[in-house]
Amino acid sequence: MIQKVRGTRDILPPESRLWVEVEAVAQRVFGGFGYEEIRLPLLEPTELFVRSVGEATDIVGKEMYTFADRKGRSLTLRPEGTAGVARAFIENGLAQRPSPLRLSYLGPMFRYEKMQRGRYRQFGQIGIELLGAATPAADAEVMLALHTFLAELGFDDLVIVLNNLGDPEDRPRFIELLLRELEGRREELCADCQRRWDANPLRILDCKVPRCRELVAGTTPVAEVVSEEARRHVDGVEAALRDLGVAVQRAPRLVRGLDYYLRTVFEVVSPELGEDTVICGGGRYDRLISDLGGPQVPGVGFAIGEDRLIEVLPASFRERVLGRRPVVVLPVGEAAATTLAVVRALAVRGIAAHAEVTGRSLKAGLKWAGKLGARVVVIVGGDELAAGAVVVRDLDRGEQQAVPIAEVADVLERTGEA
């Protein structure tokens, strides 16, 4: 038997309903904030991620699926979405469009990561990017859109934690201070952090190993080293969020794992799920597009790991989606064509219906409907059909009524089965 590749999975019904509904909410909410969907290639030149994400990051150094094509070109399955958006912005001349440009995306990403709960090597991601605005209000908009989306899914205890990474010019000064404060403790760091010491010291702050977290807890936060301009920017973001009623707190050692972030970086946590449960994160990246050869265009955005999000969905949303019961349409006698016409009429009204097409008897069809969890069965045939009607039977109540074919959808909507 051929099996799926390790780190991938089949998302089967009814769980797939959750994915469809979550994505529909995302498109509705982000669309309401003015974001339009961009669809990006799964494959990109490897250089794109080396130059944008950072050669010394774990993503580039250990996690990318990279291979040579038949002409020897190095290609990579996309590990994240922002770099692809930046590349598309430059390649398609999107700087000529009215600014700021609001883009959203969703789809699969790929990272060769250690397998653990909620983390897969092919994973879904939902994100938005706001390009062309360098103000604190732009950061606040992105976080408000994110907060609104999660609230629509039923989360009600969310906290946005943010930090100030300063500008690239601030980084050498901070890194020098960090290494000086950790001097003599390098051997106590984990093997990854000892490697990061030379390659990318800022990543030490992002380590989840308990001993490394203890060591960095006493170091000077990066926000205390940044320029006054960067400080005013992130202070403005925090003030705007508080004015909007969004819970926010500072996380002095939050850095995220991507080299292109500057000034604002943030994550969303839910105290109910535990402080280590990060639902999503993002930040500002004003130099990314110019670093890739494009114009100087500021940007800010976030990405949500959809697998993890669906795993921690509130019970209310999960029950609402998974609790929907289908309608079953059963033919009696020679009524197959009319049965399918009824299903089509329901489908265009947004009512999910299952047609019996295997030749089951009415008795067997009713038993099948019960296995599907249907509450309502539409029976097509007999004297009612001759009169232009069908029978709508409520399996829970044991009641039924004859309904004109043209009114079936209206009746189902009134009874709550739509």
At 286 the pLDDT is 96
Q: What are the tokens at 154? A: 């039923």
**Which of the listed residues 264, 290, 318 is the one where a domain comes to its end?**
318
Q: Is residue 187 domain-resident?
A: no
State whether 400 and 276 are in the same domain: no
State whether 267 and 388 are in the same domain: no
Q: Is residue 196 domain-resident?
A: no
**pTM over cut 0.85:** yes
Q: Is residue 279 domain-resident?
A: yes
Domain holding 84, by residue range, is: 15-167+226-318
State whether 149 and 118 are in the same domain: yes
At 221 the pLDDT is 87
At 275 the pLDDT is 61
**Which of the listed residues 300, 318, 336 is the one where a domain comes to its end?**
318
CA distance 332 to 19: 36
State whether 397 and 277 are in the same domain: no
State whether 242 and 338 are in the same domain: no
pLDDT in tens, the chain (418 residues): 999 999 999 999 999 999 999 999 999 999 999 999 999 999 999 999 999 887 667 677 778 999 999 999 999 999 999 999 999 999 999 999 999 999 999 999 999 987 776 679 999 999 999 999 999 999 999 999 999 999 999 998 889 999 999 998 988 898 888 889 888 888 888 988 888 888 788 888 878 888 888 888 888 888 888 999 999 999 999 999 999 999 999 988 888 767 889 999 999 988 777 666 788 999 999 999 999 999 999 999 999 999 999 999 999 999 999 998 999 999 998 888 999 999 999 999 999 999 999 999 999 999 999 999 999 999 998 888 889 999 999 999 989 999 999 999 999 988 765 5
Q: Is residue 138 domain-resident?
A: yes
Non-local (6+) Cβ contacts of 20 within 8 A are none
CA distance 44 to 40: 9
Q: Is residue 197 domain-resident?
A: no
The answer to whether the beta carbons of residues 288 and 86 sit under 8 Å apart is yes
Non-local (6+) Cβ contacts of 215 within 8 A are 182, 185, 188, 189
Q: Is residue 393 domain-resident?
A: yes
**Total Cβ atoms within 10 A of residue 293:** 11
CA distance 197 to 231: 26
Q: Is residue 359 domain-resident?
A: yes
Q: Is residue 273 domain-resident?
A: yes
**Total Cβ atoms within 10 A of residue 161:** 19
Q: The domain spanning residue 124 has which CATH number?
A: 3.30.930.10
State whether 367 and 272 are in the same domain: no
State whether 275 and 329 are in the same domain: no
State whether 259 and 373 are in the same domain: no
Work out the angle at residue 78's Cα, subtended by the Cα atoms of residues 71 and 152, and round it to the nearest 5 degrees. 160
State whether 335 and 251 are in the same domain: no
State whether 263 and 138 are in the same domain: yes
State whether 302 and 358 are in the same domain: no
Q: What are the tokens at 318? A: 């999960």
At 113 the pLDDT is 80
Q: What are the tokens at 331? A: 């033919």
φ, ψ at 199 (rounded to 5°):
-85, -40
At 274 the pLDDT is 67
**Which of the listed residues 318, 337, 360 is the one where a domain comes to its end?**
318
At 241 the pLDDT is 97
State whether 305 and 333 are in the same domain: no
* CB-based burial label for 254 (10 Å; 0-12, 13-18, 19+): buried
Total domains in the chain come to: 2
Q: The domain spanning residue 379 has which CATH number?
A: 3.40.50.800
